[in-house]
Each structure stands twice: as C-alpha cells, then as structure tokens.
Structure 1
Amino acid sequence: MDMASFRAESYGELQSLVDGLYATRTVVDRLDLVMQAEVLDLDADLQEIVSLLPPGSYERQRLCDQLNSAIAAHGWGGVYGTVE
C-alpha cells in the first residue's frame, strides 16, 4: 500500500485532542497536552509528536503550528492529519 494514500486508524485523533483541550481555555501548557495524550492512549507516533513540543504554554494557533511542523517533518500529514 502506498503511504501517500494510507490513513492510520488514529487519523484525526490529534485534532480531537486539541479541540478538547481548547474547549474551555485559551492557553494550554505542554505538560497538560502530554498528559492528556497519554490518558487518551494516543498512537505512539502521535505521542512522539506531542513530546517534541518545547516546554511552555501555547495559544491554539501557536500549538497547531508547532504540531503541524513536527507532523510535516515526519511526513505524517496524510497518515494522521494535521491540526487547526
């Protein structure tokens, strides 16, 4: 199967994680993101993407930019989706 057309079973889960975290707040701490990814038992690749974030607090757009950059660097946009 061509990886360009492959979508992982966990496609879109990172978007759901971001949506959930920002449902009630405007700033999210990296530690909250990492812990929630573990609680939700995200795919190991997605947990790796989350763990690549530098420590700090993130407004949604900055977090999405950081996550999408890591996703693109791994070539996983089509496999796991990007976030907005």
Structure 2
Amino acid sequence: MLDGIKIEDQFRTGAESLPLMLGSDCAHPSVCEGCHRPISDRFLLRVNDCSWHEECVQCSVCQQPLTMSCYSRDQKLYCKHDYQQ
C-alpha cells in the first residue's frame, strides 16, 4: 500500500450505476491531477486531497511509478531520491 495514499472504490451496483453508464451522472467526475483526464476506473488514488489514476502516480523527475511511497512538493510527486535533491 502507498504511504499517505488512499484508494477509493467508485464502483456502484444495481440501478444507481445505470446513469453512470449512460453518462447522465457526470456533473462532478473525478479528474486526475496528473493527466487532467476524467477518472472512470473502478479505483482511484488520493494524494494530498487530489485524485489520480494509478498509472499517473509517478515521480515528476524520473517518471518511476510510485508504488510504495511518495513525496510531494509544490503539487508535484517525487520518489525519495529525487525529493532529497
């Protein structure tokens, strides 16, 4: 699990999921902080009160995926090595 990162399940079942499939409940879709695209995945990551696609959580310097922990400065994510630079 990523330290300081919360995974939210956006999966809905039954009748409440139909408007989502039809696109009529899209007034406030989660938008990825990394790529600025809507998040339609079942899971999203929350880092510093922002939503992210799992694949977008990567170091802003070396682009390595941040799978265990991440560091943040000026709204950018870093691996430990690049954060300490």
TM-score computed with the length of structure 2 as normaliser: 0.28
Q: Which of the pair has more CA radius of gyration?
A: 2
TM-score computed with the length of structure 1 as normaliser: 0.28
Kindly indicate which of the two structures has a greater share of residues assigned to helix. 1
The structure, 1 or 2, with the larger RCO (C-alpha pairs under 8 Å, 6+ apart) is 1
